[in-house]
A = this chain, B = another copy of it.
Amino acid sequence: MTDLMRRWAIDAIGRNNLALSQAPIPEPKPGELLVRVAAVSLNYRDKLVLESGMGLPLVFPFSPGSDMAGTVAAAGAGATRFKPGERVITNFNAGWLEGKPAGTGRNPPYRSLGGTFPGVLAEYVAFPEDWFVAAPKSLDDAEASTLPITGLTVWTSLIEYGGLQAGQTVLVQGTGGVALFGLQIAKAHGAKVIVTSGSDEKLARAKALGADILINRSKEDWVEAVYRVTADRGVDHILEIVGGANLGQAIRAVAIHGRISVIGVLDGFEVSGPVGPLLMKGLTIQGIQVGHRRGLEDFTRAVEAIGLKPVIDKRYTFEQVPEAFDHLDRGPFGKIVVEVG
């Protein structure tokens, strides 16, 4: 271990400001773990933070990135949850262990890595030990790094709150990270999965991953298609990642007593929809803020039990971070990961 490490950081808001620089390796304070970062999974949210700051109290120089897998390098005084050499991943909502997060109606919780707190696009990070969870043994570091935000958001939506059962239907929109985790987690619980996309080629790849029903939303009205393929029944669970008036489409497509999990970081925008079917179907719409640590532990255990392999579109080296963000702009099939080590 040397005294200096490399990290990506900005000195001011703006993606053009992103640069690779050197900084001291952090010292783990009491209760903290120093972790050697092995892989960082990029999220759309990281882009928004770089480009707009998202209203967050960024401290410059600011390293972006919220999702990582790595290996404990050292433990601060009193930190006993993990030992040096153990592989860990972060939980996005720092310190949310279970149940309700901290915060108030006026000031909702947003204690997030790569925002309120420093990000993880660095060779080392030091955080309180409570922010880490054991990485699943069945995944390599790049794969494991995709669980904390994208994977856990889907798990929280469909399983922790959604109580998904075999035989129910799940609809995912597109073929990005949320959609493909939705496909994999739903199939692992025996559900039927409908994928909507504007690309026949991506739909074909989703089918190879187990999708039951494919809808090309550029060729037909997807709500009508849902009615057609479900004999008018509608779908039980929708992962809504688009927002805006698209929520109205989801409200139309859902079954009696169906659930719509609203996912995303489209802060500042509106959702809207028709009140008639909302009432008459007794729908539930729930906003999903990723998830808590116990949920991530449950999800990690499930990943091992079912042999789930996250879909990574491309792995980039630490030096290729700008290219990785460019790929994110183009809309990957699954996840984009930066391998740090």
Contacts and interface: CB of A to CB of B under 8 A. Distances in A.
B302 A166 contact: yes
Q: What is the copy number of this chain in the assembly?
A: 4
B279 A270 contact: no
A275 B287 contact: yes
Contacts of A274: 268-271
A204 interface: no
B280 A109 contact: yes
A197 to B, nearest CB: 21
B279 A275 contact: no
- Interface residues of A toward B: which range? 35 or more
Interface in A169-196: 185, 188-192
A257 interface: yes
Contacts of A103: 256, 280-281
A238 to B, nearest CB: 11
A61 interface: no
A267 to B, nearest CB: 4
Contact of A279 (B30, B191, B254, B264): B264
Interface string A72-115: 00000010000000000000000001111101111111100000
A8 interface: no
Interface stretch (A11-19, A118-126, A143-151, A225-233): A225-233
Interface of A: 30, 78, 97-101, 103-110, 159, 163, 165-168, 185, 188-192, 226-227, 230-235, 243, 248, 252-258, 262-289, 294, 298-306
